[in-house]
């Protein structure tokens, strides 16, 4: 997904509903009672924020350590984290959904980085057996 496509997607999502803290709490209560429409509305309200967050995560945080994950993969992984946060979110604690979802999106994105990429370690971090007289053995202290 090119930057222009990301801007187009964000432009299309401008009509997503934005809720106040009280409206969000009311939707959360409805969601807890089993209302799927309330869950869908909460999810829709967070999509633009999740896409923006995923773009920033991809650009700043993890860019040096991954080569094979595209921005689409990061956005999709952030959406999975957003879904997971909806399952566990409780507005009675006084936080907004976007604040709470940040933790779950970050966890899912870093998990995807760990599972989909091989991080090449420098040679000094390789395992060296603890054998006396081994020239590769180093003392840290």
pLDDT digits (tens, 9 = 90+) for 66-101: 556 777 888 888 889 998 988 888 878 878 888 888
Q: Tell me the whole-structure pTM to 2 decimals.
A: 0.67
pLDDT of residue 141: 43
Q: What is the pLDDT of residue 5?
A: 66
Stretches in the chain below the pLDDT threshold 70: 1-7, 9-12, 61-68, 117-141
HEC string for the chain = CCHHHHHHHHHHHHHCCCCCHHHHHHHHHHHHCCCHHHHHHHHHHHHHHHHHHHHHHHHHHCHHHCCCCCHHHHHHHHHHHHHHHHHHCCHHHCCCHHHHHHHHHHHHHHHHHHHHCCCCCCHHHCCCCCCCCCCCCCCCC
């Amino acid at each position: 997904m090119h930057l222009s496509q990301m801007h187009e997607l964000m432009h299309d999502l401008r009509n997503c509903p934005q809720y106040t803290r009280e409206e969000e709490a009311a939707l959360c209560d409805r969601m807890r009672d089993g209302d799927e429409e309330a869950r869908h509305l909460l999810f829709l309200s967070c999509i633009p924020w999740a896409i923006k967050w995923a773009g920033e995560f991809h650009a700043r945080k993890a860019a040096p350590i991954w080569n094979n994950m595209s921005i689409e993969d990061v956005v999709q992984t952030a959406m999975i984290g957003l879904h997971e946060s909806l399952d566990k979110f409780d507005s009675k604690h006084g936080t907004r959904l976007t604040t709470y979802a940040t933790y779950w999106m970050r966890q899912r994105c870093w998990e995807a980085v760990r599972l989909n990429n091989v991080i090449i370690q420098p040679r000094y971090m390789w395992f060296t057996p603890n054998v006396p007289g081994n020239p590769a053995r180093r003392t840290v202290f």
